Amino acid sequence: MSVAAALGAVLANLAFVTVRWRILLRAAGFALPVRRLLSAICAGLGANNLLPARGGDLVRLESMRQVGGIPPFVGVGALFAERLLDGLVLSVWILAGALLAGKGGVLLLTGVALSAGTGVELLLVALVAARPERASRAAAGVAGRLPARWRGSLESAAGSFVAGLGAFRDRRTLAGLLLSSTAAYVLTVHAFVVLPVTVLGIALLRIALPALGTGMPLRLSARLRALAPARSA
């Protein structure tokens, strides 16, 4: 029964993560079909449990580029937005837990510091997203000091990154992101308490990679599949 509940939480978590990414990408001007978006998300989540330093995030971004034509730095901007939202939700949970448990000291100070820090960062990102022309001018100023062959690439990358933050321009969109992020976090904690992370990651990876068809590089796919039995053992 507990395994079934955990699997249900995993599926619900994937649904909320997919909703969050649809919101992020739509705000950036890209509409990716749910099936393709879900396959890219599953590939990234599975690879994160097998690759160091959250290498699965690179798998997710490359998958989105291949199956949906999402420019790399738009994906990087959306990924940064996702990490910021995750940090905000986590910090609020820490703070709320400390207050509800009546705990002070390090736990409460950690919650306050993280909540304040992520709140300030969220405000700064919202300002950048609301005034993309300023970000473009700043990037152009930095690019002006670089060799000519790099200027266009830097300005384009900066513009794409800011586009990936487009969801922060609208309060309703941001509220939807916060709700989906909170739901996804709660479901993730519930699922990972019951199911081992490694088993879950291997299952997601084996489901997602075939769904991507020929989109993923064959050498990466073969390497990850070769690692899976060793990790599960």
Dump pLDDT digits (tens) for 34-84: 999 999 998 998 888 888 888 899 999 999 999 889 999 999 999 999 999
Q: Is residue 150 part of a domain?
A: yes
pLDDT above 70 as % of the chain: 80
CB 208 within 8 A of CB 46: yes
Could you read off the pLDDT of 110-129 as tens digits, one per residue? 999 999 999 999 999 999 99
Residue 107's domain comprises 72-183
Read off the pTM: 0.78
What's the rounded mean pLDDT across residues 87-91?
A: 92
Domain count, the chain: 1
Round to whole Å and give the CA distance between 111 and 93.
Answer: 8
Mean pLDDT estimate for the chain: 82
CB 215 within 8 Å of CB 67? yes
In-domain check, residue 83: yes
Q: DSSP code of 213? A: T
Q: What is the DSSP string of 134-199?
A: HHHHHHHHHHTTS-HHHHHHHHHHHHHHHHTTGGGG-HHHHHHHHHHHHHHHHHHHHHHHHS-HHH
Residue 33 domain flag: no
